[in-house]
Amino acid sequence: MKSFTKELWFETKRPKEFINITSTVEELLKESGIKEGFVLVNAMHITASVFINDDESGLHHDFDKWLEKMAPHDPVNQYHHNTYETNADAHIKRQIMGREVVVAITEGKLHFGPWEQIFYGEFDGCRRKRVLVKIIGE
Ligand code: ZN
CA 86–ligand 1 middle distance (angstroms):
7
Per-residue pLDDT in tens (0 to 9) along the chain, 138 residues: 999 999 999 999 999 999 999 999 999 999 999 999 999 999 999 999 999 999 999 999 999 999 999 999 999 999 999 999 999 999 999 999 999 999 999 999 999 999 999 999 999 999 999 999 999 999
Q: How would you class 80 by CB atoms within 10 Å of its CB: exposed for 0-12, middle for 13-18, buried for 19 or more?
A: exposed
pLDDT in tens, 6-16: 999 999 999 99
Query: What are the structural domains of the chain?
Result: 2-137 (2.60.120.460)
Q: What's the per-residue H, E or C state across the chain?
A: CEEEEEEEEECCCCCCEEEECHHHHHHHHHHHCCCCEEEEEEECCCCEEEEEECCCHHHHHHHHHHHHHHCCCCCHHHCCCCCCCCCHHHHHHHHHHCCEEEEEEECCEECCCCCCEEEEEECCCCCCEEEEEEEEEC
CA 25–ligand 1 middle distance (angstroms):
28
CA 62–ligand 1 middle distance (angstroms):
24
CA 30–ligand 1 middle distance (angstroms):
36
CA 65–ligand 1 middle distance (angstroms):
21
